[in-house]
């Protein structure tokens, strides 16, 4: 809706990428510092602060009529989103046991998918039904929903997700965990999980952007492309509900390896499909596999880090995701100029498959 609102103001479409990047700008700068403070003070106050920022900036996006105001509110919106995500992911990790960690992160990402599916539908419905200022009313609706998110944030227990730092005197057999960024990145498997998360979330963004272009080249209608995107989202939601069962059968890292390889092959196969039915099958397979990757990397990070450093680890993960969302789509845009839409999807699919090599090495590392 922000993109449509900006276009209504007469701004060239080529600047949409820069405006979108403003969402990730502040999180890239302050993400790690936020994570450390979540570890120190507990997630709840950051969940409340983040929900409050989402409410203020969400309403501001609908109320401001100029470009500078929209960009400023979008920057604040990105910061609020960072605070909420770090706080909630840390709470899920710290309030879960090893046995139910994958299932709970699967549930968390499932409900995130529900919101990501419902939001555009509601926004599009409001924007299309209003005679004037449709996008403004849609943005205001988003702001109202953000205001409602403050209620459960405040209602959360005061100590939810909070873990007190280890006292070296009380626990002489184990030193307090290292909290420096370098020490954290040296944690086995952490860099691999960050790489998978970064590449996968950027691949989803690129897929959403370039699938309409591929559809136009193949003569597919807007409704057909929308159906393909809906198939991906629905398949991801199904896989996230069953993730606990699948991890119990084959294990977290083998499932992640299978997921990234299958997802990459599904994305790369799209340009080879010759019919809508074949494309639907490829998208459903890719969507099912892509849906596994984010909750599995969250669970992997949670199990590889101590409770006292999980907020920092989750913020590093989100910062890496933001970096991928800023740089990789820009690189895809340059690639599309000489390789075409099919070339972009082949490279994206190949990149996702390549992360499977890193996962396999971590899987078999002693």
Domains of the chain: 2-158+179-364 (1.20.1250.20)
Is pLDDT larger for residue 206 or for residue 78? 78
Q: Would you state the pLDDT for residue 105? A: 92
CB 35 within 8 A of CB 69: no
Exposure string over 14-29, b if 16+ CB within 10 A, otherwise e: eeeeebbbbbbbbbbe
pLDDT in tens, 318-358: 888 888 777 776 677 676 667 777 888 888 888 889 888 88
Query: Once rounded to an integer, what is the mean pLDDT over residues 210-239?
Result: 83
* Global pTM value: 0.81
CB 264 within 8 A of CB 350: yes
Q: Would you state the pLDDT for residue 238? A: 92
List the one residue out of 190, 347, 200 whose CA is nearest residue 287. Answer: 200
CB 3 within 8 A of CB 135: no
Q: Would you state the pLDDT for residue 47? A: 92
* Residue 53 predicted with pLDDT over 90: yes
CA distances from 317 to 27, 86, 205, 230 (A): 11, 9, 17, 26
pLDDT in tens, 56-105: 999 998 888 788 888 889 899 999 999 999 999 999 988 888 888 899 99
Q: Would you state the pLDDT for residue 174? A: 45
Q: Would you state the pLDDT for residue 169? A: 40
| Six-digit token string for 301 | 């990070």
> Would you tell me how many other CB atoms lie within 10 Å of the CB of residue 169?
6
pLDDT in tens, 121-152: 888 788 878 767 788 888 899 899 999 999 98
pLDDT bin (cut points 50, 70, 90) of residue 317 is confident
State the average pLDDT for the chain.
83
């Amino acid at each position: 809706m922000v993109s449509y609102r900006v276009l209504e103001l007469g701004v060239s479409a080529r600047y949409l990428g820069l405006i979108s990047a403003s969402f990730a700008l502040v999180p890239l700068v302050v993400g790690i510092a936020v994570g450390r403070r979540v570890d120190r003070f507990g997630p709840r106050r950051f969940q409340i602060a983040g929900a409050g920022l989402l409410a203020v900036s969400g309403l501001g996006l609908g109320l401001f009529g100029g470009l500078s105001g929209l960009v400023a509110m979008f920057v604040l919106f990105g910061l609020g989103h960072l605070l909420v995500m770090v706080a909630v992911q840390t709470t899920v990790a710290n309030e879960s046991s090893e046995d139910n960690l994958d299932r709970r992160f699967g549930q968390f990402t499932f409900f995130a998918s529900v919101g990501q599916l419902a939001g555009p539908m509601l926004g599009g419905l409001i924007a299309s039904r209003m005679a004037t200022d449709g996008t403004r009313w849609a943005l205001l609706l988003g702001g109202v929903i953000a205001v409602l998110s403050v209620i459960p944030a405040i209602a959360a227990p005061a100590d939810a997700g909070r873990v007190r730092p280890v006292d070296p005197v009380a626990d002489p057999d184990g030193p307090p965990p290292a909290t420096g960024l370098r020490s954290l990145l040296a944690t086995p498997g952490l860099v691999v999980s960050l790489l998978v998360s970064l590449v996968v979330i950027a691949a989803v963004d690129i897929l959403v952007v370039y699938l309409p272009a591929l559809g136009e080249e193949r003569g597919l209608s807007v409704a057909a492309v929308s159906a393909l995107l809906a198939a991906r989202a629905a398949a991801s939601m199904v896989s996230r509900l069953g993730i606990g069962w699948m991890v119990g059968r084959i294990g977290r890292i083998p499932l992640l390896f299978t997921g990234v390889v299958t997802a990459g092959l599904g994305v790369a196969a799209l340009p080879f499909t010759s019919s809508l039915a074949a494309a639907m099958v490829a998208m459903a397979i890719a969507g099912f596999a892509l849906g596994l990757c984010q909750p599995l990397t969250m669970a992997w990070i949670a199990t590889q880090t101590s409770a006292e450093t999980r907020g920092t680890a989750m913020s590093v993960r989100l910062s890496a995701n933001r970096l991928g969302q800023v740089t990789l789509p820009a690189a895809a845009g340059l690639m599309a100029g000489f390789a075409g839409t099919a070339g972009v999807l082949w490279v994206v699919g190949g990149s996702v498959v390549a992360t499977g090599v890193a996962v396999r090495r971590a899987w078999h590392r002693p």
